[in-house]
Amino acid sequence: MSELVTVEINDHVAHARLNRPEKMNALSWQMFEAITDAGRELSVNKDVRAVVLSGEGRGFCAGLDLENFASGELNSNFFGPGRGGFWPNYYQSPAYVWKAMPVPVICALHGVAYGGGFQIAMGADIRIAHPESKLSVMEIKWGLIPDMSASQTLRDLVRLDIAKELTFTGRVVNAEEAMSLGLVTRLDEEPVSAALAMAHDIAGRSPDAITYGKYLLNHGWHGSDSDGLRLEEKLQGRILGKDNQTEAVMSGMDGRPGKFNPRQIETFEDIGNL
């Protein structure tokens, strides 16, 4: 069997591809594990400064593989050993791992992003979609609620009433409407190329500023003004005057590409331990 998620790393940019094209990258149990494993491995790779996430074949991801229902395991062992009682759990991790990653993740969408595929895409920081892409919170079709971290990602993108409508109806949204709602960042006829170009631009910046910037926005977007302002001060103090910040200034003044050291931290959890 071919590798279910392929990863290539070039010039500090990782390209992770869902690689089950014969099933439109539908989420089998093996796909759940392969996506989570790929995300976790990239998260601790300090050489990686940006990630592009895409899907092989005719679509990004068609959602849950219906064979999971047929096996009976979805019903009989949903929160079996190793699958629940911790967060993000087994089912949430393939989507949430991208939000928790300490570098920006740009999702290149084409074809469909339905159900679980939709939620994986929402875990990215930025989404570039082909104009003919289609998106749907499709769990209601199977009598389910979205349970792959949409409660923690959709709230950053759309109004509550929009999230409820999409969740209650499961209707399919085209790319143009998805952009107007805030589900998609922008449209491009070549979403993978556009995502890679953006990722390489990000990879040319100070990796510390990028990582702390993502942490700041992830953790300071909700909550009180005072907590957000305190976090800004705390994080800036960990960047200012360090080697990568100095190199950003010097390379900018010299008009040359920066020569940066790997980022200071390995994962977001390390920020609290510095």
Indicate the pTM of the whole model.
0.94
Instruction: Judge if 217 and 235 occupy the same domain.
Output: yes
Q: Are residues 142 and 261 in the same domain?
A: no
What's the order of all strands across the beta sheet hosting 134-136? Answer: 112-114, 134-136, 173-174
- 192 and 255 together in one domain: no
State the pLDDT at residue 196. Answer: 98
Cβ(27)–Cβ(59) under 8 Å? no
Write out pLDDT tens, residues 28-51.
Answer: 999 999 999 999 999 999 999 999
Same domain, 181 and 246: no
The pLDDT, as a whole number, for residue 81 is 66
- Point out the domain boundary residue: 168, 202, 236: 202
Q: For 15-40, what is the mean pLDDT?
A: 97
What is the per-residue pLDDT across 131-181, written as a single tens digit (0 to 9) for each? 999 999 999 999 999 999 999 999 999 999 999 999 999 999 999 999 999
Does 213 lie in the same domain as 99? Answer: no
Question: For position 83, what pLDDT does the model report?
Answer: 78
CA–CA distance, 63 with 172 (Å, rounded to integer): 13
Using the predicted structure, report yes or no on whether residue 1 has a pLDDT greater than 50.
Answer: no
- State the angle between helix axes of 225-239 and 207-220 in degrees (0 to 180), rounded to the nearest 10: 170
How do 50-55 and 13-18 pair as beta strands?
parallel
Judge if 187 and 212 occupy the same domain. Answer: no
Are residue 163 and residue 32 in the same domain, yes or no? Answer: yes
Q: Residue 250 belongs to a domain with what CATH number?
A: 1.10.12.10
Does the pLDDT of residue 7 top 70, yes or no? yes
CATH of the domain at 198: 3.90.226.10
Q: Are 19 and 2 in contact (CB under 8 A)?
A: yes
The C-alpha atoms of residue 16 and residue 133 are separated, in whole angstroms, by 19
Clarify whether residues 246 and 137 are in a common domain: no
Q: What pLDDT, on the 0 to 100 scale, is given for residue 75? A: 54
> What local confidence, expressed as pLDDT, does residue 66 receive?
83
Per-residue pLDDT tens over the stretch 170-228: 999 999 999 999 999 999 999 999 999 999 999 999 999 999 999 999 999 998 999 99
Listed residues 202, 223, 250: the one ending a domain: 202
One domain, residues 237 and 196: no
Domain limits at 31? 5-202
Is 76 buried (19+), middle (13-18) or exposed (0-12) by CB count in 10 A?
exposed
What is the structure's pLDDT at 125?
98
Convert the pLDDT of each residue in 60-101 to its tens digit: 999 999 887 666 555 555 666 667 788 899 999 999 999 999
Are both 221 and 188 inside the same structural domain? no
Task: State whether 157 and 265 are in the same domain.
Answer: no
The pLDDT of 54-59, averaged and rounded, is 98
23 in Cβ contact with 65 (< 8 Å): yes
pLDDT reading at 274 higher than 70: no
Of the residues 147, 171, 202, which one is the last residue of a structural domain?
202
Q: What domain count does the chain have? A: 2
The answer to whether residues 210 and 198 belong to one domain is no
Residues in the chain: 274
SS3 of the chain: the string is: CCCCEEEEEECCEEEEEECCHHHCCCECHHHHHHHHHHHHHHHCCCCCCEEEEEECCCCCECCECCHHHHCCHHHHCCCCCCCCCCCCCCCCHHHHHHHCCCCCEEEEECCEEECHHHHHHHCCCEEEECCCCEEECCHHHHCCCCCCCHHHHHHHCCCHHHHHHHHHHCCCEEHHHHHHHCCCCEECCCHHHHHHHHHHHHHCCCHHHHHHHHHHHHHHCCCCHHHHHHHHHHHHHHHCCCHHHHHHHHHHHHCCCCCCCCCCCCCHHHHHHC
CA–CA separation, 107 and 191 (whole Å): 9
92, 27 contact by CB (below 8 A): no
